[in-house]
Amino acid sequence: MTSPLHLVTGAAGFVGRRLAAALSARGARVVAVDDLADPAKRGRLEGLGLVDALDRRELADRLAHGRFDLPLGGVFHQGATADTLSRDPAQLYRNNLRFSLALCDHALARRIPFVYASSAAVYGAAGSFARRPRSERPLNLYARTKLALDHAVRRRFPCATSPLVGLRYFNVYGPGEDHKGRMASMVHRAHRQLTETGVLRLFAGGHGLADGEQRRDFVHVDDVVAVNLFFAERPTARGLFDVGSGRSRSFNELARLLIARLGRGRVVYVPIPTQVAGRYQTFTQADLRALRRAGYARPFLSLEEGLARTFGPPEATGAQAVA
């Protein structure tokens, strides 16, 4: 019997490509969705064993006119406009909210699992990462569109008869980020800076925070893929879930680990840019209790384990001091 099709949006992106590859490796038939007018994105879809690929604009048009009828077995919605500095509300709401809801409603009407990427950015400056309104204080337009989608999906939970799951990704890192530019993870950008220049620039402190002591919950992309696959196979899955390691690590800790791996490098502290000040999270840490209650028991990679999986064996055993 032919296996059902699985739709992966954002399939040329970081998480989407990794997820599409994992599905193909399991024998699934994958249809990729992305901006096919972009030659670089088309290139990143090669070698994934896809059944087909659709342009995102074509899919949006077919959904809007009721002309999308592929026999799907699941939807993994990873695509979004993810620029946290974007000031184009029309584009962000069109891509991150309206298109996402059209795809969600299509899946719900056909009782197809719908698992989508939300973001820890929805918590903003709350300092608490519980999934309740008082802990959701987004600091930028991108995060507000993600939160708007989460709110709309919450309203659909009572009537959902198939898996309907939003995954709030924390700081995802891993192999395959080279194409992301300034939107790459802190891990990727820090490693690149140290490799290319020998100097890692971290943000200075302020408001009671020491230099370089901003903290992130770094989660490896393989863990993110595993959580996606887990929920798509749970027929009663409904909810929003944090996806992180459950442990925050400071930028200084990350610097020390990378410098130790490379055997060289130093840190300098720079002021937070004015365009970021006031819209920058200084602390993130996933609350994994809901995820564990849902039955996901697999341990997450530590930062040390994730760095080894991402960059391979250390280049040297010695380390220079962080200055």
Q: Domains in the chain, start-ordered, CATH in brackets?
A: 5-171+220-243 (3.40.50.720), 174-217+247-284+301-311 (3.90.25.10)
Question: pLDDT tens for residues 270-288?
Answer: 999 887 777 788 999 999 9
3-state class (DSSP) for residue 233: coil
pLDDT on residue 318: 45
pLDDT on residue 1: 59
Q: Is 180 a catalytic residue?
A: yes
Give, for 16, the enclosing helix (H) or strand (E). Answer: helix 14-25
pLDDT on residue 57: 96
> To the nearest whole number, what is the mean pLDDT of the chain?
93
- In the numeric block, which tokens belong to residue 125? 């400056």
Helices (H), ranges, 65-171: 89-93, 99-109, 141-156
pLDDT on residue 316: 57
- Residues of the chain above pLDDT 90, percent: 83
pTM reported for the whole predicted model: 0.94
Q: Is 173 a catalytic residue?
A: no
Query: Does the structure show a pLDDT above 60 at 322?
Result: no
Q: What angle do CA 246, 247, 249 make, to 5 degrees?
A: 150
- Residue 109 contacts residue 102 (beta carbons within 8 Å): no
Query: Does the structure show a pLDDT above 80 at 136?
Result: yes
Question: pLDDT tens for residues 120-129?
Answer: 999 997 777 7
From the candidates 93, 180, 280, 296, give the one annotated as an active-site residue.
180
Question: pLDDT tens for residues 235-263?
Answer: 999 999 999 999 999 999 999 999 999 99
From the candidates 41, 116, 123, 142, give the one annotated as an active-site residue.
142
First-residue to last-residue Cα distance in the chain: 61
